[in-house]
Amino acid sequence: MTEATMSAGSVRAPRRRRAEDVAGLGRARATLFAAPGLLLIGLFLLFPAIWTVYLGMTNYRLTGFAAANPEFVGLDNFATALNDPRFWNSLWLTLVFVLVSGIIGQTILGFSLAWMLRNVRPGIKTFVETLVLAAWVIPASVASFLWLALLDRRTGTLNSLLGTEGAAWLIQHPMECIIIFNIWVGTAFSMQLFSSAISAVPPSQLESARMVGANTWQQLRDVILPNIKGHLLTNTLLITLWTFNTFTPYLLTAGGPNGQTDILSVYIYQTAIPGGQLGLGAAISLIMLLINLVIALMYTRVSRGKSGKKVRS
């Protein structure tokens, strides 16, 4: 028990422990274990992904002449995309969206909720958590419909509550709408994450901090944060990637009035399906992937820097 307590409670949570084959797995068996999963991934993910990479270098379309006779155009699609001002607008909007809605919005709201609810009466805690999780669990098409109903210009609930009949929220403040919508949908993940992380912090440390007179803010900064940093980064990475790739805002604004919410996932969709240019769509997806890669690398760099060497303390 003590050992368990210690390992769970080290100040530098051992995130990247050296793999230890405690169960006597052995390389061969490990490969066997991992094989079916990797096979599935290889066939249904890797294979289409590589094919998509190839598509990105052709002028392939789903219909029309280029469907029957696709030509290899090399890096032309990438050039077209990078020269298209719509691409840069889309990229900018996506970065803003991810930053405000994902990194700042969901993380802060999720953490605040987790922190505030940690000592609240169980009944209230369950109630609030249920609301937040329901928002996350409800399917995307339903959620978007609920928000369309809320924000409707003529008969929306928000307008009738605020008495602002005729305010076209989705037209006049489209980015704000999708950002808040995304926060509504996604906060549950952060909240749950921080809830577990905070509860894994050894109370002894909190006790000591309180005894030396640290107020809540100082407790947060000096005890909680160092303890959860490791997991915080990994999971913020996930939130970033998910928000980057989410398509649901399309259901709300379809790219926004005149392209004001034209985030990358919407841009790709509109290029590939209504526009029919699958080759170009694939190329843009690849560019998006590379951007995601850069972000992921940034995260690993930060996480490696923060938790120091990957040695148990």
Instruction: Identify which of residues 23 and 212 has a Cβ nearer to another protein in the complex.
Output: 23
Output the smallest distance, CB 187 to another protein, in A. 8
Instruction: Identify which of residues 122 and 274 has a Cβ nearer to another protein in the complex.
Output: 274
Instruction: Identify which of residues 193 and 224 has a Cβ nearer to another protein in the complex.
Output: 193
Output the smallest distance, CB 308 to another protein, in A. 17
Output the smallest distance, CB 53 to another protein, in A. 8
How far is the C-alpha of 95 from the C-alpha of 235, rounded, in Å? 18
Instruction: Identify which of residues 101 and 235 has a Cβ nearer to another protein in the complex.
Output: 235
Q: Where are the alpha helices (DSSP H) in the chain?
A: 2-9, 26-41, 47-55, 65-68, 76-83, 85-97, 107-117, 122-137, 140-151, 157-162, 169-172, 174-199, 203-211, 216-219, 225-245, 249-253, 264-272, 278-306
Which residue is listed with tokens 């008969």? 155
Output the smallest distance, CB 92 to another protein, in A. 19
Instruction: Identify which of residues 96 and 126 has a Cβ nearer to another protein in the complex.
Output: 126
How far is the C-alpha of 13 from the C-alpha of 144, rounded, in Å? 38
Phi, psi of 29 (to 5 degrees): -70, -35
How far is the C-alpha of 91 from the C-alpha of 291, rounded, in Å? 10
How far is the C-alpha of 225 from the C-alpha of 232, rounded, in Å? 9
Output the smallest distance, CB 188 to another protein, in A. 9
Output the smallest distance, CB 270 to another protein, in A. 9
Phi, psi of 309 (to 5 degrees): -70, 160
CA nearest neighbour of 250 among 307, 170, 192: 170
Instruction: Identify which of residues 17 and 221 has a Cβ nearer to another protein in the complex.
Output: 17
